[in-house]
Amino acid sequence: MATAELAGKHLVLGMTGGIACYKIAELTRLLTKAGATVQVVMTDAATQFITPVTMQALSGRPVYTSQWDARVPNNMAHIDLSREADAIVIAPASTDFLAKLAHGMADDLLSTLCVARDCPLLVVPAMNRQMWQHPATQRNVAQLRADGVQVLGPDSGPQACGEVGDGRMLEAAATYEAIASFFAPKLLAGRRVLLTAGPTFEPLDPVRGITNRSSGKMGFALARAAQQAGAEVHLVAGPVALETPWGVFRQDVQTAQQMHDAVMHAVADADIFIGVAAVADWRVDHASEHKIKKTADRALPSFAFVENPDILASVAKLPHPPFAVGFAAESGDLEVHGEEKRVRKNVPLLIGNLGPLTFGLDDNEVILFEAGGATKLPRADKQTLARALIAEIAKRLPDTSLIR
Ligand code: CTP
């Protein structure tokens, strides 16, 4: 999560009854950490699962549970609480509350707020699998979708009742991601983005290999930002220890050749290709099938190397290439190497940074190289930078009709 990604956003977080209420403590923390203000409103049932005191401490604001609460200045809690809201999020959303929403009922503070709102409504269902699958629930959810309500989840898996199936509430982190995605400007709506990220691993034998220090953070941040911008995202990742960004299709590979094959297989469907991976330039010609052992005479092993395919250049060479963006991590003379590399790889845009010095770090400073010249972007954390880069890429895209 980027620092202050939701700065200036005001959310009404409506909690209804369900064991998943415990997840909302963490969700509130994530939302406030990202800069959002969170006004918690709870139904009576929700207060059976977690106390308003806990939610007040986490949100830093008084919690409301009743439409008769005299603390709201003009005694119109059902109107006032949502007036400054950018969205109402109902989490967890119980079977009963979804039914009430679908029918426009307004018999407590939270349901009245939802009917009286003039902002978007997001619901995060949480219930037993049979309650979720019940035709009435499915009808209600379909009605809510038709009314423009965003339905986030539910997840599938083990449930508090011991059963397994659909209906679990999304985890707090996934709910946060879905909310952050909802608010991001849809600069890449309808576009398909293919990215590579992380290092590659070139085996020497079954236990050893050559790799590099790329953490994959920048590529994963770009995949997340592209998803948030409304794109369909396919991320081809080398070996990294990072979670898949929410809503992104991830394909794991090890070697440069596998990364190349995965990209070439998928590229026909892409409008944009972003090569962020630190691809190994060479591999051992014939990796040993067995572990290479020390010999009695202590002879040092020697390896013959062959060059790996250049994925970015292969994409750029296609007869109808997507908008191809390269990355260059240089240890010096970035201004010279960046533009030289962009021309050599034949891409319209290359993003250069002093890579080896920023590998694994959370922030970065980059220069955009393109035919018209070079532009420096301000130093920022990788998530913020990723959003800025996606906006820069979106600005440079040819008209959809001219892309392919
Ligand atoms: N790249 C690629 N396939 C390769 C090598 C690089 O797709 N086999 C892509 C990277 O993902 C990046 C860009 O090319 O987008 C530049 O990578 P870099 O390693 O800086 O380029 P090289 O051509 O390997 O140049 P150098 O000689 O500086 O290593």
- Residue 364 pairs in a beta bridge with 380
311 annotated as belonging to a binding site for a ligand? yes
* 283 Cβ contact partners less than 8 Å away, ≥ 6 residues apart: 202, 210, 255, 256, 257, 305, 306, 308
- Summarize pLDDT for 253-269 with one digit per residue, the tens: 999 999 999 999 999 99
CA angle 238, 243, 246 (to 5 degrees): 115
Distance from the CA of 278 to the center of ligand 1, in angstroms?
7
**Mutation to probe ligand 1, out of 213, 312, 337, 350 (largest number of atoms < 8 A from CB):** 312
Residue 402 pLDDT > 50: no
21 catalytically annotated? no
Between 158 and 236, the higher pLDDT residue:
236
Cβ 367 vs Cβ 338: under 8 Å: yes
Distance of CA 209 to the CA centre of its chain: 30
C-alpha to C-alpha distances, 210 to 25, 233, 261, 268, 287, nearest whole angstrom = 43, 28, 19, 30, 11
Confirm or reject: Cβ of 273 under 6 Å from ligand 1.
Answer: no
Superfamily holding 10-183 = Flavin prenyltransferase-like (3.40.50.1950)
Question: What are the start and end residues of each CATH 3.40.50.10300 domain in the chain?
Answer: 192-401
Average pLDDT over residues 183-188: 97
Q: Quote the pLDDT of residue 360.
A: 66
Q: Quote the pLDDT of residue 146.
A: 98
294 annotated as belonging to a binding site for a ligand? no
CB count in 10 Å sphere of residue 397: 17
- Summarize pLDDT for 11-61 with one digit per residue, the tens: 999 999 999 999 999 999 999 999 999 999 999 999 999 999 999 999 999
Residue 261 to residue 264: CA distance in whole angstroms: 5
Band of pLDDT at residue 329, cut at 50, 70 and 90:
confident
Distance from the CA of 309 to the center of ligand 1, in angstroms?
10
Confirm or reject: Cβ of 229 under 6 Å from ligand 1.
Answer: no
Q: Quote the pLDDT of residue 1.
A: 55
Average pLDDT over residues 123-148: 97
Q: Quote the pLDDT of residue 401.
A: 46
Average pLDDT over residues 333-344: 92
For the entire predicted model, the pTM comes to: 0.91
Q: 192-401 maps to which CATH number?
A: 3.40.50.10300
Distance from the CA of 338 to the center of ligand 1, in angstroms?
11
CB count in 10 Å sphere of residue 333: 10
Confirm or reject: Cβ of 272 under 6 Å from ligand 1.
Answer: no
Question: What are the start and end residues of each CATH 3.40.50.1950 domain in the chain?
Answer: 10-183
- Summarize pLDDT for 137-166 with one digit per residue, the tens: 999 999 999 999 999 999 988 888 888 889
Peptide bond into 154 cis (omega under 30): yes
Which atom from ligand 1 is nearest to the alpha carbon of 263? 7
Nearest CA to ligand 1 atom 24: 281
